[in-house]
Structure 1
Amino acid sequence: MSVEFNNRVAIVTGAGGGLGRSHALALAARGVKVVVNDLGGSVDGTGGSETMAQSVVKEIEAMGGEAMANGANVTKQDEVEAMVAETIERFGKVDILVNNAGILRDRSFSKMTMEDWDLVVAVHLKGSATCTKAVWNHMKENKYGRIVMTTSSSGMYGNFGQTNYGAAKAGLSGFMRTLCLEGAKYDIRINTLSPTARSRMTEGLMPEEILAQLRVEPVSQGLVYLVCDDAPNRVILAAGAGGYALTKVFETQGINLSEGNATAENVEAHWGAIASNEGMEEYTNGGQQGAKFLTRIANKEFAK
């Protein structure tokens, strides 16, 4: 295996600054033709300008790479479809999609408006789905695709004041797991990046001495691997401060209660066995959970 790119074309959303810019530059440095997509809005999603994207394109061209700017709003299907069409017209295809665009509207849930909820979910979750949908059939026809979602530790573990953001980010990991099943026979590999990096969205949330250690470039090197020709599939790569780890979901073995004994009281009585980590498994499709329980019924394996 090696980290190589064979004449690849990538769309990177939210690439006008911060982590997205770093992703675009890292891919361009390896010869990938890059579409730098950025609405050019503020952290909370208001406003817009293509200036940021155009600036990154100039950086890529200065280093001898090929790129073009695009200001499509990732939540608007017509704009995204036009971006994909323009990419294919300019570069002939789309091999890689990096869903990086995002906004923040942090508030405790009691103070959050449903407008704050809807917009954050729309940009992160719907925006990733909209962009993925726009390239999906094209990648199927080409029998090749590399797609990355961007999740967060807030989506995996929770973070105070980020119910909207956390819900959207958790949704992306579920989106990725199902897409992997549908894209497998077309060599479309889908992974998720869970970054901890300095950006406009983290400014003011951490002390300066901590932020100084959270450079974006090492995170982008993890992204580069996730979209290369020999990329893995169906992983959540956590990356930050030069550290890399995988986030995984495991299920305990648990128990089955026989008919008539499936009561709340018996769930409580067997809680230790239900929660035990012994024999935990990582499943790759939802049917495995049901199969576990049904196999026990067939074999009459019930907790006493």
Structure 2
Amino acid sequence: MGKTLDGKVVLVTGAGGGIGREIALMAAAEGAAIVVNDLGATLKGTGHTLTAAQTVVDEIKAAGGDAIADGGSVTDPDAARAMVEAAVKEFGRIDAVVNNAGILRDGFFHKMRYEDFDAVVKVHLYGAFNTSRAATDYFREQQSGALVHMTSTSGLIGNYAQANYSAAKLGIAAFSNSLALDLKRWNVRSNCIAPFAWSRMISSIKTETPEQEARVEKIKKMTPAKVAPMACYLMSDQAAEISGQIFAVRMNEIFLMSQPRPVRSVHSGDGWTAESIAEHAIPALKSHFTPLEVSAEVFSWDPI
């Protein structure tokens, strides 16, 4: 039996460590040639070194795979295009992009600066646009391609002190769905993964109470390697019919996440006033409201 990604060429952003590294290593083991992109920045996005990306390239080559390192920033459209073009120049094509690069600048909203909001959205959401847009020109020409975007339950459900990160991650889910619709005619697929895994980004979670400390200890058991199989599957030909979906991966659990659809409706033949909405519409709708929860309250049981 051949390897799942034999002959494919994959760009993985933010692949110098954590989830991105595990995806790059597994994709290479499954037969893909890899462009390992990593800016080598701090968790907040400062600094720049190729060391992390090159280390992963060396690991891939030591295991018999093929890879090149790239240190460009996904926030720069020209750098994103250069990543894709490096794949085509070195390996002859580009088959998949994993939009994994990210930073955190957490803070409660009343303390959040414009710069912190802007920087996080630029890396996550604009970064996904820049790499996807660059790859799409090649995907259309070859009539195939796969995009895998990392979203988060912080955006899909909610979390404290992450207005910037949550906005970017929910934006990525909508972005992915739009790409799935727009690019279907060229056999290009776009899907999201919301990963649960201990990584450098997750390590910044505040642990100010015993409950928060206990939660972090549970997350530490969720290894990034558990996320890689789903990403590799979504890039493979076996997933040719899957597009526009959002999956979550937590240890050995895989979830298909819901997407917004109408839940309940009310109608008034005479139209509505603010008063009639208060008296009739809201009482009818209220039992169907979505609770205001954080991710940990929704995923309240221990991972399997």
Q: Which residue of 1 aligns with 2:9?
A: 9
Aligned in 2, Cα 1:228/1:3: closer, same or farther, shift over 3 Å? farther
Letter in 1 for 2:135: V
1:220 to 224, 228, 245: 228
Query: In the alignment, is residue 257 of structure 1 matched against residue 268 of structure 2?
Result: yes
Deviations along 1:261-289, whole A, 9 cap, x unmatched? Answer: 32223323133444566xxxxxxxxxxxx
How far 1:148 moved relative to its partner? 0.9
How many Å separate the matches in 2 of 1:162 and 1:242? Answer: 26
Q: Which residue of 1 aligns with 2:246?
A: 236
Q: Which residue of 2 aligns with 1:301?
A: none
Residue 252 of structure 1 aligns to a residue whose secondary structure is: coil
Stretches of structure 2 lacking an aligned partner (at least 5 in a row) = 206-212, 289-304
Residue 230 of structure 1 aligns to a residue whose secondary structure is: helix
Q: Which residue of 2 aligns with 1:59?
A: 59
Residue 193 of structure 2 aligns to a residue whose secondary structure is: strand
Letter in 2 for 1:77: P
1:1-304 paired onto structure 2 within 5 Å: 4-205=4-205, 207=214, 209-231=217-239, 232-249=242-259, 250-258=261-269, 260-268=270-278, 269-274=280-285
Q: Give the paired residue count.
A: 275
Residue 270 of structure 1 aligns to a residue whose secondary structure is: helix
Give the conservation status (yes or no) of the 8 Å contact 1:13–1:98.
yes
Q: TM-score, normalised by structure 1?
A: 0.86
Residue 271 of structure 1 aligns to a residue whose secondary structure is: helix
Give the conservation status (yes or no) of the 8 Å contact 2:5–2:232.
no
Greater C-alpha Rg: 1
Q: TM-score, normalised by structure 2?
A: 0.86
Letter in 2 for 1:216: P
Percent of residue pairs bearing the same amino acid type: 39
How many Å separate the matches in 1 of 2:268 and 2:38? Answer: 53
Letter in 2 for 1:117: F
Give the conservation status (yes or no) of the 8 Å contact 2:196–2:219.
no
Letter in 1 for 2:228: S
Stretches of structure 1 lacking an aligned partner (at least 5 in a row) = 278-304
Q: Which runs of 4+ in 1 moved over 2 A?
A: 2-6, 204-209, 255-258, 264-268, 270-277
Task: Name the Cα RMSD after superposition.
Answer: 1.7
